[in-house]
Amino acid sequence: MKKTVGIVGANGYTGSELIRLLAFHPHVTLSFLYSRSNSGTRISDLYPDLTTVCEMVLTDQPEEVDILFLCLPHKESQNWLTQNPVKEETLVIDLGNDFRLDGNFESRDFIYGLPEINKKQLSGSKSIANPGCFATAIQLALLPLAEKESLDEVFTTGITGSTGAGQSLQPTTHFTWRNDNVSAYKTLTHQHVDEILKQIVLFNHKNVSLNFVPWRGDFARGIFTSSTVKTDLGLSDIYQLYKDFYEEAPFVTVSEKAIDLKQVVNTNRCVIQIEKSGNVAVIHSAIDNLLKGASGQAVQNMNIAMGWEENAGLNLKPIAF
């Protein structure tokens, strides 16, 4: 029997991506799509790409389900759970940042949902904090070196598409502003820095300095990051380190060829490439911010928690043209 699923905040980008994925998932069925602002509206009227895929009507009345996804703005998940208690046996996956740093909430202990490092803890879990998009791309780029305790200071730049800013229209998400334009934002103060460092330090066993400069790109979706570090390891040794680290990670590919964003857009994949000159190495990583950086990873976490095949519902091909 298929498990029932509810999505809170189904009218946003991550919610609509979850609908697209779960509508074809072999082990679940959608029970309700929650939205206060668009209650009574057919989801396909908001997102025409969901026409014939999902014709459910949004509601402001949640139901009891087996699996609950929270796709709310940051800092709202905790309030929603307080006002709408769910049964203990319900699997709750939060795509916001409420529980990434402190996973304790009432009787729940949220597990940090980066499958490449926490798969064992995620198995059977009932509370999962989905990582942030930049946090996912940067951690996957740095974790193998952190495990070798090789990180001291890291300089990272990363560019993201307009969907990373959410659905609400802002001056910097207008087409006329984004088109043919690039800008830096939240330089050295991005909200994902603390999240990244918390996990990296667990592997590195010493403090790491992360200097992160995020950029806005003139495209809709995707993240490309480049992290610069100093290391005495040779390039071939670094590649072997990464290939060994991700040997059992079905959605991470370590490439010795140049990578680009189109390899990952519309997939749950992360591709990594490494370059080195002297004692300086640069680790490039690319993901789709709405999939491996959000909804796809949430489905991956659900699969692991429920004991299903990890790639169920996630066999997606990138859009190359």
> What is the distance between the alpha carbons of residues 113 and 131, in angstroms, rounded to a whole number?
6
The residue type at 237: D
Catalytic residue, chosen from 54, 71, 133, 270, is 133
Of 130, 164, 167, the C-alpha closest to 35 is: 167
- CB pairs under 8 A, 24+ apart, for 255-263? 259/284, 259/286, 260/224, 260/286, 261/219, 261/222, 261/224, 261/286, 262/318, 262/319, 262/320, 263/318
List all residues 6 or more positions away from 285 whose beta carbon is below 8 Å from its beta carbon. 137, 138, 140, 141, 224, 225, 227, 270, 271, 272
Q: Is 133 a catalytic residue?
A: yes
Q: What is the CA radius of gyration of the chain?
A: 19
Residues forming the active site: 133
